[in-house]
Structure 1
Amino acid sequence: MAYSYEPHHFEDFSVGQTFESVGRTVTESDFVLHSAFSGDWTELHTNRHYADEEYFGERVAHGPMTFVLATGFVYRCGFLERTVLAFLGMNYMDIPAPVRTNDTVSLDMEVVGKKELSSREDSGLVTIDTEMTNQENETVFSGDMKFLIKRRD
């Protein structure tokens, strides 16, 4: 399966179309950078000694960091390059399992909706269902992402 895709305009998407990202190993630096950028220094994510005694038995990624990893995979694939006008939100988002340092994660995507918008002639709405899994094929994130995508000129 291809891991790099050409930019897609609204007309290029079809319901049922799938995309697959490359894998990426989550590092200590990811944890630190996310904490620094977000200002979230919760000990469950940043204090090894504290986290070792808590529910997961080790530090785990911030929930928002898991979402950010998923959105990063969507953009890294390239099919939204210079065609996306806006991320419009999600109807649902689940984080059923934690992401840990040294997990390798990747994202599977499927176009589940495509809608013409009477209010916009230059773009349309594309909804992409996503599932991020780790190296054990355990789902660590799922959700549908809604994008405003340019039409061809």
Structure 2
Amino acid sequence: MAYSYEPHYFEDMEVGKTFESVGRTVTESDFVFHSMFADDWTELHTNAEYSEEGPFGERIGHGPMTFILTTGMVQRCGFVERTVIAFLGMNYMDVPNPLTIGDTISSEFEVTEKQEFDSREDAGLVVIDAETRNQDDEILLQGDMKFMFKRRDFYGDKPGNP
């Protein structure tokens, strides 16, 4: 596992390379901020009394919130800092278990694919599998993330680049 906060260029990303995030505890404020930002006030996420009677016995996080927290974990690992040009999407995303207030989550990332672009010489495609778990080792999110990484040989010798 790579633990340092070190930017990685396309050339640094090899299939099989892994990264692990630090932990983060999800708070009541996270739920409120996500609802405000997304303008999604579904009672399963925001109404404690309603949710207590529901299928999970408590409020749960929005599925997209789990994804957003996972993307934050990518940032906290540092390998995308100043070297990613764009997030290009996902081939799949599964949210098999709910996120709850008080969960402490962390993520693991593995490079599963690397391709050069035919259309540009300054960047390449890197696909990274992501898995986010809670303190009970339950999987909250699994998916892949497609990134456009800068190439060192194009950007690396420019001022202001890592």
Measured against aligned partners, the alpha-carbon deviations of 1:42-71 in whole angstroms (never above 9, x if no partner) come to 000000000000111100000110000011
List runs of 5+ in structure 2 lacking aligned partners: 155-162
Q: Distance in 2 between matches of 1:19 and 1:119?
A: 29
List runs of 5+ in structure 1 lacking aligned partners: none
1:82 maps onto 2:87 in alignment: no
Identity %: 67
> Is the alpha carbon distance of 1:3 and 1:14 closer, same or farther for their aligned partners in structure 2, counting shifts above 3 Å?
same
User: In the TM superposition, what is the alpha-carbon distance from 1:3 to its structure 2 partner?
Assistant: 2.9
In the other structure, the counterpart of 1:14 is 14
- Within 5 Å, give how 1:127-138 maps onto structure 2: 127-138=127-138
Q: TM-score, normalised by structure 2?
A: 0.92
Superposition CA RMSD, Å: 0.8
Q: Distance in 1 between matches of 2:17 and 2:120?
A: 23
Q: Distance in 1 between matches of 2:26 and 2:90?
A: 24
Query: Secondary structure in 2 aligned to 1:70?
Result: helix
User: In the TM superposition, what is the alpha-carbon distance from 1:2 to its structure 2 partner?
Assistant: 4.8
Measured against aligned partners, the alpha-carbon deviations of 1:77-109 in whole angstroms (never above 9, x if no partner) come to 110000101000000000000010000000011
In the other structure, the counterpart of 1:143 is 143
Query: Which of structure 1's runs of 4+ aligned residues deviate more than 4 A?
Result: none
User: In the TM superposition, what is the alpha-carbon distance from 1:4 to its structure 2 partner?
Assistant: 2.9
In the other structure, the counterpart of 1:103 is 103
How many corresponding residue pairs? 153
Q: Distance in 2 between matches of 1:11 and 1:29?
A: 39
